[in-house]
Chain A
Amino acid sequence: MPDIATEQARHGSSIGQPLTRRDGFLKVTGGATFAADNRPEGMLHAVIAVSRIARGRVTHLDVAAAKAHPGVVDVMVPGNAPKLASDPDAKNDPFTFRLDLLQNDRVRYAHQPIAVVIAETLEAATEGAELLAPRYETEKPRIGLDTAEAHQPEAVGAGDKTAASKGDVEAGLKNAERRIEAVYETPAQYHNAMEPHAIVAQWDGDRLTVDTPSQGMAMATMRLAGLFGIDPKNILVRSPFLGGGFGSKGFLSGPQVLGVMAAKHVGRPVKLVLRREQMFGPVGHRAETRQTLRLGTDGSGALTALDHHTLTATSSFDDFYEPASALSRYLYKAPSLSTGHSGVRVDTGTPLFMRAPGEASGSAALEAAIDEMAEACGIDPLVFRQMNYAEAEPISERPFSSKALRECYEQGAARFGWDRRSPEPRSMSDGAGRLVGWGVGTALFPALMMQAEARAEIRADGSGTVAIGAHDMGQGAWTALAQIAADGLGIDLDRLDFQSGSSDLPNGGIAGGSAHTATAGSAIHSAAAAVLAQLSELATTDERSPLFGAGNAGVYAAGGRLIRRDDESRGESFSDILARAKKNSVSASGKGAPDPASRESYAMHAHGAVFAEVTVDPDLGQIRVTRLVGAFAAGRIVNPRLVTSQYYGGMIWGVSFALHENAVVDPRSGRVMNPNLGEYHVPVNADVPSIEAILVEEHDPHVNPLGIKGVGEIGITGTAGAIANAVYHATGVRVRKMPITLDKVLG
């Protein structure tokens, strides 16, 4: 694969610059239009009513009472809801999740939509939904990991293998000098993007326009086409901004489809926005896990065996298994290694991808286990990690396409001051009587590539356009992709018209798997290269051009000009080239996709090391993460300002994972008892006093033409474990059940 990354580093002007967000002005003035901000003429409000039971049937809804409420236009229930062209319970592929679209009266989880009330005002629709006062035939819900016999799933996560191993783990453990076995538990967590799922749907005959937050507009379009039996060409999905996604907006959720059905039902545009408590059910979550880790080491502290087994839960009616053991396949060197998963079916909504699905939960357990093993060996936990460094991917034994983890350990440790750590638990304090603990965790996230298309154009005035149906959910796509586009076309950013966030643009793929910048960026790069090739062709074959005879490979683009490599004083502007050729513009399409050959040959991951300091009140148990330093190597950095923010955000999710997030389910009812942001805790500003992120240099010639790995999810990995380890170091109490709340360290 040609090393375009180096090429662009030499000539590029935008990539690598810490530009502020191009959508910043809109976002700080209230001008950025999120889905629920749309208000087409004649729009009605729809509010869903949700089930309060987790399993059973709805036997009665007081539709008359709801309809009698002034302003209520209609109530959509099983029986009168628009007929769908396909069964929402059909499962044609692993990525089509079953939806609750009023197809029957069955209840399979708490907060399942059971009716939709449509009204002239939001107030009327909301109260109408309340007045439905459902009655149920209740069955005892199945909740928790011990509720049923576990089974082995066919696949976990996004089609990962359930089990993978090498060597003989039992022998490795048996022959180990030291071994540990520990069970770690992580709770159910809910994405809780600040923007609740929302949709504004408008039908015009069999044409459909929806404004809705989507991490995958093309997939959403296909899902709608299938459910409503219409041509995907007649569907427009607009999603210029997502108020956070974190995986919960990757697939169109049931409530979003209900908004479309409601619009069809009443023949008017409809807006449907989830209430916060309704986010705890029909829009996915991270399932609870119970992870058993068994590790053994030889006399030197080298791992002889690592066994990582995850028990997790999926819904009663669909399959998604948190692939928490998968990380152990990639991270530490061990001659024998075993990873596996089992699952139980419970009466909850179907779990889904949630920021670092599998990696986050798995890392929290693995990094704590590594810490416990290091301690058992009497070895500094950082040194232990360095000793068991994998030079090749442990199970597949493929070389890494790049891996600057050593540098992450070194730079992070230096910045943090790790060498001043005293090894004994409870041995450090802050001088005011509080315990201080330092912990470390290794971060890893696979460097994925998906599929995307883009279109690029250069016009006679020298300006350019790049169009791609990409998604900005906060990672900065409007900026980072535009930087790639400007460099790809060889124009200044202010000469670029970057179009995105709408399904009528080329399919930008999915904003997920930390792969969007790499994938969409590659598509953009390829489209831009094709445009430049056309321009080069026009110029280098025309003897009137100063570029004549240079050949396509003999020129490069910068500042709106093509320039000869063999004589940089000779160049010609795009405008001149097009004027002479009597063309208004040249345009081309391009694709981004994984390269099968390099994917076969190399293991591809981003890596990092996270160092955490916690301060703990010795008597009262209250914990604060007073310092975090993360050093990450993720290939080429398109925009260091945005990437730093991604790392900060990921690490704060790590704080949240370790100390806060916990969906408390009452096993008697199956209801989440804290379905609100007052008691489903995520960190507040005061929880995050100090975070630093170090962008460790890394060049990857294999991962994709731009050398980009993902940065959106890696920050949460490593961090939760580092914090748990720091809490242990501070208190001497090893909490193996997250979140680590003060009652668990009181002693």
Chain B
Amino acid sequence: MNRFDYVRARTIAEAVAAATEPGAAYLAAGTNLLDLMKGGVTRPARLVDVTHLPDLDRIDRLPEGGFRVGALVRNSDLAYDTAFARAHPSVAEALLSGASAQLRNAATVAGNLMQRTRCPYFYDPASACNKRQPGAGCEAQGGETRLHAVLGWSEHCIATHPSDFCVPLVALDAAVEIAGKDGTREVPLEAFHRLPGDAPERETVLEAGELIVAVRLPAAAAAFSGHSRYLKIRDRTSYAFAVVSAAASLRLDQGRITEGRLALGGVALKPWRARAAEAVLYGAEPNEHIFRQAADAALAEAKPSGDNAFKIELARRLIVRTLTRAAAGTPERMPALPASAFEETLHA
């Protein structure tokens, strides 16, 4: 790990000012940043510690409905916040399927959004990677690509975004509150992460010094609470990144889907909102047939980026299963194995 200046910010303005310098990075829990620094993947010259900023660890109900979740709220605190989890069960389920209990106890909401990809070539400083070094090339292509992207990738980058949390969030129209030197702004989460295109080094829309201060869920998102699930396929029963994951939320009225939301994880460099699939669901009867159509729509543009064609078919099946689970209703209690294929009952 390189030497760096450590700056402990007392106010958001202080933090933003300190982090606007080139080479500065924000430090929250550090569960991803320190990992990257230890691997020599990133070498920031300055760490601006935001963990002592006041009031960013609060979960607030907004007057107009909805939630405002402070940037420093810990993943586990959000997942176990009774009111929040009741309103947004798929978000809680996604949180609890991510990482380990220890990491969830430390990792923050904003840090989760800012997670870097687990692409092994990104993590290996000896490999060429356009994210780490723009223009260097992408050595993942032609290499070990089992878990790489099948949607939205480019010849410059085929990595995926590793977050579970972001997947239901993007399905539920979450927005990101950002503070910068010119005040605050709000960005839909769907627009927060960037697809690689020809600049995979630009992962989010954040400008230099900008700080995530909160994530907002609109009041309308709670309307899905009775039919919201997250399902994550992984290579271990627990404590593994997603091979593919899906978040599905439905509003049902008199046997019809009045609105459906669908997002995928592990398939692209951003949490992938499947709007084409949502269009298929609109007004339809919730059944396997329509779920298959939705799945086909969601994956219509998918193409393998290497030895990962299986992920396309897997994602299709996963969508059907997740929608089926969502249609069956949110369980009363969080499953023993959240978001797992091995929860108590299979609604198939």
Contacts and interface: CB of A to CB of B under 8 A. Distances in A.
Interface of A: 52-53, 69-70, 123, 126-127, 130, 432-434, 615, 617, 619-622, 624, 660, 664, 666, 668-669, 671, 673-674, 678-679, 681, 683-687, 741-743, 746
Contacts of A660: 235-236
A152 B234 CA distance: 40
Given A666-B143, A681-B235, A684-B239, 16 more contacts: A434-B346, A615-B342, A619-B321, A620-B317, A621-B314, A622-B341, A664-B144, A669-B127, A673-B120, A681-B240, A684-B236, A684-B237, A686-B237, A742-B233, A742-B235, A743-B310
Interface in B63-99: none
Contacts of A746: 310, 313-314
Contact of B3 (A127, A679, A681, A743): A127
A673 B124 contact: yes
Contacts of B1: 123, 126-127, 130
B126 interface: yes
Contacts of B125: 52
B243 A671 contact: no
Given A622-B234, A668-B142, A746-B313, A617 B2 contact: no
A746 B348 CA distance: 17
B290 to A, nearest CB: 17
A687 B345 contact: no
B238 interface: yes
B317 A687 contact: no
Interface in B122-160: 124-127, 139, 142-144, 146
Contact of A619 (B139, B143, B317): B317
A686 B337 contact: yes
A620 B238 contact: no
B8 interface: no
B2 A127 contact: yes
B28 interface: no
Nearest to B316: A619
B348 A433 contact: yes
B317 A742 contact: no
B342 A673 contact: no
Contacts of A679: 118, 120, 241
B161 to A, nearest CB: 16
Nearest to A689: B237
A624 B125 CA distance: 34
Interface string B171-215: 000000000000000000000000000000000000000000000
Nearest to B232: A622
A213 B23 CA distance: 41
Contacts of A664: 120, 144
A673 B146 contact: no
A590 B130 CA distance: 65
A671 B126 contact: yes
B243 A742 contact: yes
A408 B2 CA distance: 57
Nearest to A618: B348
A686 B233 contact: no
Interface of B: 1-3, 40, 118, 120-121, 124-127, 139, 142-144, 146, 233-241, 243, 310-311, 313-314, 317-318, 320-321, 337, 341-342, 344-346, 348
5 contacts: A619-B320, A620-B314, A684-B238, A686-B237, A686-B239
Closest 5 CB pairs of A and B: A52-B126, A686-B238, A686-B237, A673-B120, A432-B346
Contacts of B146: 743
A216 to B, nearest CB: 32
A690 to B, nearest CB: 13
Nearest to A741: B235
B49 to A, nearest CB: 17
Nearest to B3: A127
Contacts of B321: 619-620
A741 B318 CA distance: 16
Contact of A130 (B40, B240, B341, B345): B40
A370 to B, nearest CB: 27
Given A127-B1, A671-B126, A674-B120, A433 B346 contact: yes
Contacts of B346: 432-434, 617
Contacts of A666: 127, 143-144
Contacts of B239: 684, 686
A127 B43 CA distance: 11
A274 B324 CA distance: 48
A673 B143 contact: yes
A119 to B, nearest CB: 13
B341 A620 contact: yes
Contacts of A673: 120-121, 124, 143-144
Nearest to A685: B238
A683 B142 CA distance: 29
Contact of A687 (B143, B236, B310, B313): B236
A69 B144 CA distance: 36
A687 B144 contact: no
Contacts of B144: 664, 666, 673
A428 to B, nearest CB: 15
Nearest to A626: B342
Contacts of B237: 624, 684, 686-687
Contacts of B310: 743, 746
A739 B121 CA distance: 22
A660 B239 CA distance: 13
Contacts of B3: 69-70, 127
Nearest to A129: B40
B323 to A, nearest CB: 13
A114 B143 CA distance: 26
A69 B2 CA distance: 10
Contacts of A53: 126
Contacts of B236: 660, 681, 683-684, 686-687
A686 B101 CA distance: 13
Contacts of B143: 666, 668, 673
A432 B243 contact: no
A685 B143 CA distance: 31
Nearest to A123: B1
Contacts of B243: 742-743
B336 to A, nearest CB: 9
Nearest to A130: B40
Contacts of B126: 52-53, 669, 671
A622 to B, nearest CB: 4
A52 B123 CA distance: 13
Contacts of B313: 746
A617 B341 contact: yes
Nearest to A665: B144
Contacts of B120: 664, 673-674, 679
Contacts of B121: 673
Contacts of A620: 233, 314, 317-318, 321, 341
B339 to A, nearest CB: 12
A617 B313 CA distance: 14
B315 to A, nearest CB: 10
A295 to B, nearest CB: 31
A76 B234 CA distance: 43
A690 B295 CA distance: 35
Nearest to B318: A620
Contacts of B118: 678-679
B2 A130 contact: yes
A742 B318 CA distance: 13
Contacts of B311: 743
B232 to A, nearest CB: 10
A196 B316 CA distance: 41
B2 A743 contact: no
A53 B40 CA distance: 17
Contacts of A683: 236
A678 B121 CA distance: 15
A69 B317 CA distance: 54
